[in-house]
Amino acid sequence: MSRKPESSDNTGEQLAPALMHDRQCSGSELPVGLEERIKERARRLGFALAGIAAAVPPESLPHLQNWLAQGLAGSMEYMHRQAEARYHPRYVFPEVRSIVVVGLNYKPGHWVSQEELPAMSGRISSYAWGRDYHRVVRKKLRELLRWLQAQVPECRGRIAVDSAPLLERDYARQAGLGWFGKNTMLLNKRYGSFFFLGALLTNLELRPDPPLESSHCGTCTACLEACPTQAFVAPKILDARRCISYLTIEHRGPIAKELRPQIGDWVFGCDVCQEVCPWNRKAPPGSEPELQVRPELAAPDLTAWFEWSEEQFRQHFAGTALWRARRDGLLRNAAIVLGNRKDPRAVPALCRGLWDSSAVVRGAAAWALGQIATNEALSALHSRLASENDPEVREEIKTALASAGQLPAITAGMVR
């Protein structure tokens, strides 16, 4: 599917002046067939999908506003802050007249099944298995922009990969790349939903592709039913506050106790509502070298994480998508996964977590030790309670002891 990026030379690709027509860019004419050549160039750079949308207000803006007004975005304050900028792509790039939208396939060739997952491990969403996709997509789009500028010297552009207040998914639909599935992902008949989106906003007035008006979910509800936390309020409406991806990546602070067991073994993100989608089953795997799985990310040893310094976390995860959760978030998630797996061999690592400098990590480790509830785990909780000063962590420890049938009162002499 994807082909290796070419060198940026464009020998033989300049068009003769006779092939110009009257579409404009700052008063200049654009080459005939430029749109097809842009998409072809994008495919040569490795993008599975490429299309063009007009620079108009996004159609799904009212849906987004409703979603934000209902509080379904959780603590993603930046979504509220950027709400106005999403009204029109000119807030991202004032000169914009067209948007080239691309999709980079990252579907893995193989998933680690629950049976294959080592005892001390957890699952990481497959989008994070390789190099940070922002960098990979951005690098390719920069090449595309350079190539386009060689064709049309007046061309100016701005690249957006998840970082700008742009509803990329909306423009991808408008550009004919797919439809919105009931799991809120953009779905493409050939590539399913395992692809990263990126956008090149340009001052060229390109001919837009026709949008895909039809939906191909039919009567299927597999994603809605499979979600471990029942995060879908309705088809296409996600309550982010319940979504494992949000909880393990975006959310700072403790994760609600009632959701912890449902997180299962997901230590960063969640793929369930994509894995069950029939359109993903037959999609071809991606072949982008920079997105190929790093073995240590497909099935990491979570107990080792509790021995790492901040610097070691940085060394392991800087340059990958995991770094967004930062050390404290990753250790919090690791503790929850180890608590869910209930393997006593994780107790020494969780005991270290109980003395971590971060209260969030200590609280999650306390909960996990309460789930495992061996003598060693309970004894560690008792001794930590004697010196823990953070009120929330104290509460976690007491609850963990109580859930294991051990009222903290038995350590009355040590408890404040």
Q: Toward ligand SF4, which CB reaches closer, 47 or 180? A: 180
Residue closer to ligand SF4, measured from CB, 211 or 264: 264
Among 83, 85, 112, 220, indicate the residue that binds ligand SF4 (CB under 6 A).
220
* Three-state SS annotation for the chain: CCCCCCCCCCCCCCCCHHHEEEEEECCEEEECCHHHHHHHHHHHCCCCEEEEEECCCCCCHHHHHHHHHCCCCCCCHHHHHCCHHHHCHHHCCCCCCEEEEEEEECCCCCCCCCCCCCCCECEECHHHCCCCHHHHHHHHHHHHHHHHHHHCCCCCEEEECCCCCCCHHHHHHHCCCCEECCCCCEEECCCECCEEEEEEEECCCCCCCCCCCCCCCCCCCHHHHHCCCCCEEECCEECHHHCHHHHHHHCCCCCCHHHHHHHCCEEECCCHHHHCCHHHHCCCCCCCHHHCCCHHHHCCEHHHHCCCCHHHHHHHHCCCHHHHHHHHHHHHHHHHHHHHHCCHHHHHHHHHHHCCCCHHHHHHHHHHHHHHCCHHHHHHHHHHHCCCCCHHHHHHHHHHHHHCCCCHHHHCCCCC
Does residue number 229 form part of the binding site for ligand SF4 (CB under 6 A)? Answer: yes
Candidates 41-49, 78-86, 181-189, 358-366: pick the segment binding ligand SF4 (CB under 6 A). Answer: 181-189
Nearest-approach distance from CB 178 to ligand SF4, in angstroms: 11
Quick one: which of 20, 32, 117, 222 contacts ligand SF4 (CB under 6 A)?
Answer: 222
CB of 225 to ligand SF4, least distance (A): 9
Q: Which of 227, 283, 293, 377 touches ligand SF4 (CB under 6 A)? A: 227
Please identify which of the residues 9, 22, 132, 162 carries the catalytic annotation: 162
Identify which of residues 298 and 400 has a Cβ nearer to ligand SF4 in the complex: 298
Stretch that binds ligand SF4, among 95-103, 221-229, 250-258, 297-305 (CB under 6 A): 221-229
162 has catalytic annotation = yes
Query: Of 140-159, which residues contact ligand SF4 (CB under 6 A)?
Result: none
Q: Which residue, 8 or 221, has its beta carbon nearer to ligand SF4?
A: 221
Quote the least distance from Cβ 265 to ligand SF4, whole Å. Answer: 12
Q: Does 340 participate in binding ligand SF4 (rule CB under 6 A)?
A: no
Contact positions with ligand SF4 (CB under 6 A) in 231-290: 231, 238, 243-245, 270, 272-273, 276-279
Q: Which is nearer to ligand SF4, 187 or 364 (CB)?
A: 187
Q: What is the CA radius of gyration of the chain?
A: 24
d(CA 146, CA 365): 50
Q: How far is the CB of 234 from ligand SF4 (least distance, A)?
A: 12
Question: Nearest approach, Cβ of 279 to ligand SF4 (angstroms)?
Answer: 6
38, 167, 201, 217: which one contacts ligand SF4 (CB under 6 A)? 217
Rounded least distance, CB 270 to ligand SF4, Å: 3
Give residues in contact with ligand SF4 (CB under 6 A).
181-183, 187, 217, 220-223, 227-229, 231, 238, 243-245, 270, 272-273, 276-279
Supply the residues annotated as catalytic. 162
